Structure 1
Amino acid sequence: MEPVPQAVSVSPQPGHAVPYRPDPQLAALAPWLGDPVEAAEFPQTVLRWRNDRAAAQVGLAGLSDAEWIAHFGRFAPLPGNLAGPLALRYHGHQFGVYNPELGDGRGFTFAQLRDGAGRLLDLGTKGSGQTPWSRRGDGRLTLKGAVREILATEMLEALGVNTSRTFSVVETGESLWRGDEPSPTRAAVLVRLSHGHIRIGTFQRLLALDKPEEMHQLIAYCLEQFPGAPDAAPAGASPAATLLHQVVARMADMAASYMVAGFVHGVLNTDNMNVTGESFDYGPWRWLPRWDARFVAAYFDEAGRYAFGRQPEVIGWNCGQLAVALRLVEEAPPLIAALETFGPLYQAAMARRWCWRLGVAPRGPEHDSALVEACEAAMRAQEIGPDAFFHAHRGGRGAEALPALAGYAPAGEDHPHWHGQPPQSLLIEEVESIWAPIAEHDDWSVLHANIAAIRQLGEALGTPPVPAGHAADAGAH
């Protein structure tokens, strides 16, 4: 086994604007929220991906590769942070069926730190070994799964979705057997940078165990660490109702962001719903090859519960499960009132995000809703996906072929990305073509070229719109 690099102190580099600011707030909740665990010992630690763009925002870009591996391959604690990893406990509805036997089975929360805007962020793992919640799993992650998560998070970030970011991937030298991949296959441990890991399922567990005191603590933690807009809830609302209003607003925007991106998450279980409204945990995801509400990402989703067009419905249903959990400490009427805001907030987010991706200035709810419907109809008629459609009509181009665009003015500056090149996409065939040279020749150049192209798309699109009054919980990266 190779020697273990020593842990290091973390300090900002000369001229670096963001210092490293550890803030392990979860430690106060740890006795009932998680289980102390240790990372697996890996035969090798080969650094394959370090997200220096994300690291710069939390004061960690100055780490050498050896220091990076020490912390994100061997999991030496970051200075001033959590003393050891925590595998979080939660329950959840999986494909509509309640499961009380859940929890972090191949990951843990490793550290918490503040970004330059003061937001509390978590560093959490995937593939770091077995925990008390692993059940029959080996606690590992395939290298292909890690590469797919890099691609998913980079593309979603470019398309304005509030998403976790793939912070690090270290190949571990192990061989894994999987039923849905050619085996044996290579293994990796991934670290994600995320705006918290508190799930709807975290609240469901406290309801199931009848833990009102812990429920009050968790509500207070979320309101303090993930603050929403002051006007997100009615004046005088209880903490539980205030939190639900905030979560509903975030989830409505997340649902709209999926639809405008043409993205199918695939496994929208309540244990995969972060109350910050940040999308995370990418398994069988897909992008639409054509606009089709019935398109399903997961081969095992035989009933189409999480089909593309059903995502807003099921995300709203998940918010309802949070409301059920909060009934442990709150009466029903204010929770119902919060849930009733989901539909209008979703429709507003759809129009706002649609105009943003088209690169046109909104004209008002009636016009914008009609525009969305006309664009969807055009995609269905032409049997094309949103990547090609939005690229072709960016800035209001082609209004003669889409009369609903007439009267819409371009918004923002034009960008060379929209001219002289095909639309950036990430269909399953493209993912396989990116993975193939890695699998066959250990050639990572195609991946890096695609990441560069995806980041150029994000630059061309610009900053995504933020719901009015919700700047505090926007996931701007």
Structure 2
Amino acid sequence: MPTSPTYRPEPRFFDLGEDYGDAVLPADFPETRLRVRNDRAAATVGLDTLTDAEWIAHFGRFEPLPGQPGPVAMRYHGHQFRTYNPDLGDGRGFLAAQLRDDQGRLLDLGTKGSGQTPWSRGADGRLTLKGGVREVLAAAMLEAQGVPTSRALSLIETGEALERGDEPSPTRSAVLVRLSHSHVRFGTFQRTAYLERPDLTAALAEHARALYHPSVAVGDVPGLMAAIVAASARLTARWVAAGFVHGVLNTDNLNVTGESFDYGPWRFLPHYEPGFTAAYFDQFGLYAFARQPEAVFWALTQLGGALKPIADVGALTEALNGFGPRYITELRAAFLERLGVRSLGEAADQRLVDTTLALLRESGEALRWEPLFHDWFGGFSSSERALRGPRARLYQGETFDAFRFALFEHEPDRPERLEHPVFAGVEPEEMLIDEVETIWAAIDRADDWAPFHAKLERLAAVRDARQQV
């Protein structure tokens, strides 16, 4: 490939050696039909200059990119619904490459559905096309809302008929490539602790510190833990503000950079419902919407346990105990950002969070989650727009008055954003399950990708409207 001047390969995980991963070969797919090419994301790492043929060669057949050693399946363990599983690892994906982006961050090209590995445990190592479509949509929606997330770089249909017990089969297949800040999981540390190899844990901790939390001093493992706690608190708060339910918050699905990735049975709230779950197999609501902070904190305690052999337990505990206060601080910031207003101080900001949730709670199914943030984005600047909109009848009564008072205390943050065409529409972009199924049905029944691509374009507009400087 003609190398872009901005392409900066830096395969650092591979430097850790064979104790952390296994060299693997990608599957040989019968077809490679390009379905998603995220040139905006590709441009940040110098891959937007690829031709479609080169794109398919690197992300469908996985010919190594320049300066990259070839794919490796990462080794890790993890708690799955709080049951420890030492037989995990990249079972249908691998780390294909690492490279610096235009901000200097080290990013991974990770795959899903790229074939069997030593950790496949008898599975076929494949991804359904529907699963790939769902992950692309989830990442696009979360990015639009300002949630730290991996981005779907590529989706290629691979021409195999897959059998699945939990959906109509045979079903179409695909391979996904995501661009993510890190695939070093909490479970990566759990594995080295399980093996009773403090040398491997220490090397992994220094790897994570140097590459992802360089402000932490060399050798300061509790400092690394505190940085991971802070990043995880920010992520969890932004999930909640977005009304997002990840669905499977196992310790192998949480990473050291606090970036959401690997979307399986995710959902967005239709309306406020603390017990709302995303996974049909989460029968006890372990990962329900309102329990996500609890789930992430529990996972962080497992990470702390894995670090005990190489750090002072008291200092690790102190770092871990910072999660609760940091989460509350991040939740306030996330709600203010979603409502497009500036901070007025801790007490006033908390009053806005509390009154927002109270209004959503009282309104029940009548007021969906996302429309409230659409209607009142910009605070006072949106009052006329909201009170003339389709939900005006819901914006009355004592609970609403308390919300409006708390909101109007805060000055609008960059109110010029309201001039974007996104806010001229009376309905927001949502990602409820019925729409997801409708988008998939068009692909499945008629190979009609127009609704899917139109949705991505509208989400890009929301991202630009909310995040424009």
TM category, shorter? over 0.9
C-alpha spacing 1:420/1:124, structure 2 compared with 1 (3 Å): closer
Q: What's the counterpart of residue 48 of structure 1? A: 35
Q: Does 1:272 align with 2:253?
A: yes
Q: What's the counterpart of residue 34 of structure 1? A: 21
Within-5 A mapping of 1:40-79: 40-79=27-66
Cα deviation, residue 420, structure 1: 3.0
Letter in 2 for 1:395: G
Q: Does 1:108 align with 2:94?
A: yes
C-alpha separation between the residues in 2 aligned to 1:425 and 1:220?
40
8 A Cα contact 2:78 2:252, kept in partner: yes
SS in 2 for 1:136: coil
Q: Does 1:389 align with 2:372?
A: yes
Q: What's the counterpart of residue 289 of structure 2? A: 308
SS in 1 for 2:193: helix
CA deviation map 1:299-358 (0-9, x unaligned): 000000000000011101111111100001112100011011111111111111101110
C-alpha separation between the residues in 2 aligned to 1:124 and 1:30?
18
SS in 1 for 2:96: strand
CA deviation map 1:212-246 (0-9, x unaligned): 1111111111111102546xxxxx79521111011
Q: What's the counterpart of residue 130 of structure 1? A: 116
SS in 1 for 2:8: coil
Q: What's the counterpart of residue 387 of structure 2? A: none
Letter in 1 for 2:270: P
Letter in 2 for 1:405: L
Q: What's the counterpart of residue 260 of structure 1? A: 241
Q: Which of 457, 464, 473 is 2:462 aligned to? A: 457
C-alpha RMSD of matched pairs (Å): 1.5
Cα deviation, residue 365, structure 1: 1.0
CA deviation map 1:399-454 (0-9, x unaligned): 97433223222111223312233111000001011111111111111111100111
Cα deviation, residue 461, structure 1: 1.1
C-alpha separation between the residues in 1 aligned to 2:368 and 2:61?
42
C-alpha separation between the residues in 1 aligned to 2:421 and 2:57?
41
C-alpha separation between the residues in 2 aligned to 1:59 and 1:441?
35
Q: Does 1:218 align with 2:204?
A: yes
C-alpha separation between the residues in 1 aligned to 2:68 and 2:465?
37
Q: Does 1:353 align with 2:337?
A: no
Decide which structure has greater helix share: 2
SS in 2 for 1:406: helix
C-alpha separation between the residues in 1 aligned to 2:184 and 2:349?
34
Q: Which of 105, 111, 125 is 1:119 aligned to? A: 105
Q: Which of 431, 438, 449 is 2:436 aligned to? A: 431
Cα deviation, residue 33, structure 1: 0.5
Q: Which of 300, 310, 313 is 1:329 aligned to? A: 310
Cα deviation, residue 136, structure 1: 2.5
CA deviation map 1:114-138 (0-9, x unaligned): 1111111110100011111101211
8 A Cα contact 2:157 2:175, kept in partner: yes
Q: What's the counterpart of residue 289 of structure 1? A: 270
Q: What's the counterpart of residue 408 of structure 2? A: 406
Q: What's the counterpart of residue 346 of structure 2? A: 365
C-alpha separation between the residues in 2 aligned to 1:272 and 1:439?
28
SS in 1 for 2:233: helix
SS in 2 for 1:123: strand
Letter in 2 for 1:286: R
Letter in 2 for 1:421: V
C-alpha separation between the residues in 2 aligned to 1:343 and 1:441?
49
Q: Which of 3, 16, 40 is 1:11 aligned to? A: 3
Letter in 1 for 2:3: S
Cα deviation, residue 386, structure 1: 2.2
SS in 2 for 1:276: coil
Letter in 1 for 2:304: A
C-alpha separation between the residues in 2 aligned to 1:333 and 1:390?
41
Q: Which of 132, 137, 141 is 1:155 aligned to? A: 141
Q: What's the counterpart of residue 378 of structure 1? A: 359
Letter in 2 for 1:449: A
C-alpha separation between the residues in 1 aligned to 2:358 and 2:424?
25
Q: What's the counterpart of residue 443 of structure 1? A: 448
Cα deviation, residue 463, structure 1: 6.2
C-alpha separation between the residues in 1 aligned to 2:185 and 2:144?
24
Q: TM-score, normalised by structure 1?
A: 0.91
C-alpha spacing 1:260/1:229, structure 2 compared with 1 (3 Å): farther
Letter in 1 for 2:421: P
Q: What's the counterpart of residue 223 of structure 2? A: 242
C-alpha separation between the residues in 2 aligned to 1:307 and 1:237?
37
SS in 2 for 1:162: coil
SS in 1 for 2:310: coil
CA deviation map 1:183-218 (0-9, x unaligned): 111000111111111000000001000111111111
8 A Cα contact 2:206 2:218, kept in partner: no
CA deviation map 1:83-106 (0-9, x unaligned): x21011101000011111100000
8 A Cα contact 2:77 2:187, kept in partner: yes
Letter in 2 for 1:85: P
Cα deviation, residue 10, structure 1: 3.7
Cα deviation, residue 269, structure 1: 0.2
C-alpha separation between the residues in 1 aligned to 2:346 and 2:109?
39
8 A Cα contact 1:262 1:385, kept in partner: no
8 A Cα contact 1:19 1:59, kept in partner: yes
C-alpha separation between the residues in 2 aligned to 1:112 and 1:411?
36
Q: Which of 179, 193, 197 is 1:207 aligned to? A: 193
8 A Cα contact 2:213 2:224, kept in partner: no
Letter in 1 for 2:280: Y
Cα deviation, residue 180, structure 1: 2.0
8 A Cα contact 2:277 2:287, kept in partner: yes
Letter in 2 for 1:57: T
